[in-house]
Amino acid sequence: MTLNLEILDLSCLDIDDPSAWQPASPADVYLMVELEIGEAGVPGGHVFQLLVATPQGVRTHHQGRALQAFTSMRKRGTTFDIDALLVVDPYDWNWVHDTLRQRVKSCERSTWAESLDCLRTKFFWEYEGIEYR
């Protein structure tokens, strides 16, 4: 049997309502997105993050303040060796949201531990660097 994962909450640290937000420059988008992901029907979840950016946003901001927030979580290497950067061109929140749901669904496994291992390859995990039991 496979767990049914769901996004319990989705927010953006730089904007109040990502579904309604329109960037001043659609070519220059660089957002930190936070997702609470858990098993459907089970209380609680874990917090994951990733960066959503346009190519211009990556060129302009990749060494900026949003990336610095991940410094403590980047123990696995000096580059993004996990898929925690979603490059979009052009920026479209509906497409981003659908893509995030697909990423989460692709990590549905028979146990939470197996699902978590998969989610950690696609997002930064709130407990990165702390052994999970």
Determine, yes or no, domain membership for 59. Answer: yes
Residue 72 is predicted with a pLDDT of 44
Determine, yes or no, domain membership for 132. Answer: no
* Total of domains in the chain: 1
Residue 76 is predicted with a pLDDT of 44
The residue type of 118 is C
Determine, yes or no, domain membership for 12. Answer: yes
Each residue's pLDDT tens digit in the chain (133 positions)?
A: 899 999 999 999 889 999 999 999 989 999 999 999 999 999 999 999 998 999 998 888 776 554 554 544 444 444 444 578 899 999 999 999 999 999 999 999 999 999 999 998 899 888 776 665 5
Determine, yes or no, domain membership for 130. Answer: no
Q: For residues 116 and 132, is the Cβ–Cβ distance under 8 A? A: yes
Determine, yes or no, domain membership for 75. Answer: yes
Three-state SS annotation for the chain: CCCCEEEEEEEECCECCCCCCCCCCCCCCEEEEEEEEEECCCCCCEEEEEEEECHHHHHHHCCCHHHHCCHHHCCCCCCCCCCCEEECCCCCHHHHHHHHHHHHHCCCCCCHHHHHHHHHHHCEECCCCCCCC
Containing structural domain, residue 101: 5-125
Determine, yes or no, domain membership for 107. Answer: yes
pTM confidence score: 0.81
Residue 59 is predicted with a pLDDT of 84
Determine, yes or no, domain membership for 25. Answer: yes
Task: Identify which of 101, 93, 85 has the alpha carbon closest to the alpha carbon of residue 50.
Answer: 85
Determine, yes or no, domain membership for 131. Answer: no
